[in-house]
A and B are shown apart, each in its own frame.
Chain A
Amino acid sequence: MGKTLFHKVWDRHSVGILPDGSTQLFVGTHLIHEVTSPQAFGMLRDLGLKVAFPNRTFATVDHIVPTDQRTEPFRDSLADAMIKELRKNCSDFDVTFFDISSGKQGIVHIVGPEQGITQPGTTIACGDSHTSTHGAFGAVAFGIGTSQVRDVLATQTMALSPLKVRKIEVRGKLGPGVYAKDIILHIIRTLGVNGGTGYAYEYCGSTIEGLSLEERMTICNMSIEGGARAGYVNPDEKTFEYLKGRPYCPKGKEWDVAVAEWKKVVSDPDAVYDDVKIFEASEIRPTVTWGINPGQGIFIDEAIPSPEQLPEADRSSAKEALEFMKFKAGEKLAGQKIQVAFFGSCTNARISDFLEASKFLKGRKVAPGIRAIAVPGSQGVSKICAEMGIDEIFREAGFDWREAGCSMCLGMNPDQLVGDEICASSSNRNFKGRQGSPTGRTLLMSPVMVVAAAVTGQVSDARLVFAKS
């Protein structure tokens, strides 16, 4: 009987079974940032412990950094204290820190792959739920809480119970104007925001195989929005090609050894899964959320459902969502006026996102009165966008082109919605208050759909807006 990648990696990293019955799992690579690590370092100091394997932890600063004015001290004294605390902790405990001055700073889930720190067949943990992103490389990657960050710092292990594995096969060819973001929004809509509880999602099938690594990251990134703690894609030639030559990847003969090892972790053809779900790519259309959780999405040409149309379990959330969003059942989202367009986040702020959107944005202008911001996911993305002239296309269109960070995805920094503004957003969460204003309204969509909304001033089907491009 064959094994899945998940089980192979799990078994290889298992230290043993703990008294409570959970597994002590070795963490190959640990990523940290300024929000969920300071308390963990505090606990470490309180217990008189050291970082057990400092070479296996990497830090960056992303959630609280301003994306406009970067000189320190930051205007927000709390944010300033947080970056200084991280700097001190990394220095005290000998942890590599991709600081703003390094040229490598950015959103943790963009920096890891970019630097080649994210590698197949390993376990990765980070105090951030979107750690599932790293699964795109065939790693088993978990978002963890701060006490677990402490555990990993102190022991390079954590207590965890094994997950079940659901195979999610997406097959066939995507239609024009349909992107990885639409695939994952459609999967979450179909399986539910808690449908993945207890599972790791293995994404496979011809559609997934056809995606670039950056697109696979978009899909794995949002696994947690479907309740799945981890999501991954089996590594293939594209994975190795993406990683080859990156700073933290093996070189020379060691590269060949590593690739041979990575090929072994791929799920066996006769692997047994706890569940299988199949999706046809041709049935997926550009998807936009209308509600307050990422499962409340519709195709751009569909109408907002009435709660009565939905399964009973989804009705109370749907009613609450309609009230909060000030939308009516039966309305279409197309034509809905927006006030803000946000292009960024660990879901969609990579080079390919900006490149694809820039093809449509070139020569167009952001509609009058729309606040449009574009935030590269890392300093690395920013640099390449500048070399390719992508930043200029965004600027000329009227986007505010910013420095790398999480920005308006979660409003922990000065980039926030005001009042009940409606934001067309390439991010991952549309929770109430997520973008910094308690009454702000977020519509999740693909980056190209964000650009279409920005230039028309309303939610629009990018396939129609850019029909002549």
Chain B
Amino acid sequence: MSLSPVAQVTGRGVVVAGDDIDTDRIIPARYMRCITFDGLGEYLFRDVRQTPEGKSTNHPIDDPKYEGATILISGMNFGCGSSREHAPQAIARAGFKAVIAGGFAEIFFGNSTTLGLPCATATRKDLNALMSLIQKDPTTVVKIDVEKLQVTAGPLSFPVTLKASAQQGLLSGRYDAIADLLANLPKIKELAGRIPSATTS
């Protein structure tokens, strides 16, 4: 599919601190009882944003000072656990355009890239500096340059990493692979003839 390239993302950030934030945390399974992704943004981090009684826990996502933030900033191994695309869908549908973290679980990373949601990995030191800066001044504008793999925010400027194929896909607007996959259907059919399928006959 020909999509708009994602060469840079600019916006304010919100810090959701912690390591190993899993996809059940990002969107609890009971909110996946649905047949479309519509409305999933509402359930982002649901169980940590509300008490079981439905009271707000003052989670950063609901903190007025971060309102309008489009870049989610978190710790190590973000998005671990389930393969649910519902997780990046919820993040994107809640208005986020990119995630910066100390590292990403692989399936989450791939699912996010396919949606055009860049997941940039920063070192712990740079991440801590960025988190402190945003917490001190939530109005700070954060810029992720996907081409140069550089993040700038106020006085900070540091390199980030992004898997080469993801970077390439985002920059060329080919992050959703479907068109490139479909283009090879004749080759696929030929290969399929050589690979047995499970059958009862």
Q: Cβ of A320: which chain B residues have Cβ within 8 Å of it? A: 18
Q: Is the C-beta of A129 less than 8 angstroms from some C-beta in chain B? A: yes
Q: Is the C-beta of A433 less than 8 angstroms from some C-beta in chain B? A: yes
Q: Which of B40-59 contact A (CB under 8 A)?
A: 47-48, 51-52
Instruction: Determine, out of B3-11, B109-117, B141-149, B152-160, the stretch whose residues face the partner at the interface.
Output: B109-117
Chain A, interface size category, equals 35 or more
Q: Are A12 and B163 in contact (CB under 8 A)?
A: no
- Tally of A-B Cβ pairs under 8 angstroms: 231
- Output the residue of A22, A118, A250 with the most chain B CB within 10 A: A22
Q: Are A159 and B180 in contact (CB under 8 A)?
A: yes
Instruction: Determine, out of A78-86, A276-284, A343-351, A367-375, the stretch whose residues face the partner at the interface.
Output: A78-86
Instruction: Determine, out of B65-73, B130-138, B192-200, the stretch whose residues face the partner at the interface.
Output: B192-200
Q: Are B33 and A76 in contact (CB under 8 A)?
A: yes
Q: Cβ of A313: which chain B residues have Cβ within 8 Å of it? A: 19, 76
From residue A410, how far is it (CB to closest CB) to chain B in Å? 4
Q: CB within 8 A of B106: which of A20, A156, A198, A429?
A: A198
Q: CB within 8 A of B195: which of A63, A122, A247, A419?
A: A122
From residue B86, how far is it (CB to closest CB) to chain A in Å? 8
From residue B144, how far is it (CB to closest CB) to chain A in Å? 19
Q: Encode contact with A along B95-128: 1 for CB under 8 Å, 0 otherwise.
A: 0000000010111001100110000000000000
Q: Cβ of A411: which chain B residues have Cβ within 8 Å of it? A: 29-30
Q: CB within 8 A of A147: which of B81, B115, B200?
A: B115
Q: Are B178 and A293 in contact (CB under 8 A)?
A: no
Q: Are B85 and A15 in contact (CB under 8 A)?
A: no
Q: Given contacts A55-B199, A316-B75, could you give 4 more A-B pairs where the C-beta distance is less than 8 Å?
A: A20-B169, A20-B174, A155-B185, A225-B81
Which chain A residues have a beta carbon within 8 Å of chain B's beta carbons?
12-13, 15-16, 18-22, 24, 26, 28-29, 35-36, 38-39, 42, 47, 49, 52-53, 55-56, 58, 63-64, 76, 78-79, 81-82, 85, 115-119, 122, 127-129, 131, 143-148, 150-151, 154-161, 193-194, 197-198, 224-225, 227, 229, 247-250, 258, 292-293, 313, 316-317, 320, 410-412, 416, 419, 429, 431-434, 436-439
Which chain B residues have a beta carbon within 8 Å of chain A's beta carbons?
18-20, 22, 24-25, 28-30, 32-37, 47-48, 51-52, 75-77, 80-86, 88, 103, 105-107, 110-111, 114-115, 163-166, 168-169, 172, 174-178, 180-182, 184-185, 187-188, 191-192, 195-200
Closest CB pairs A-B (n = 8): A145-B111, A145-B85, A78-B33, A438-B47, A143-B83, A38-B35, A159-B177, A146-B85
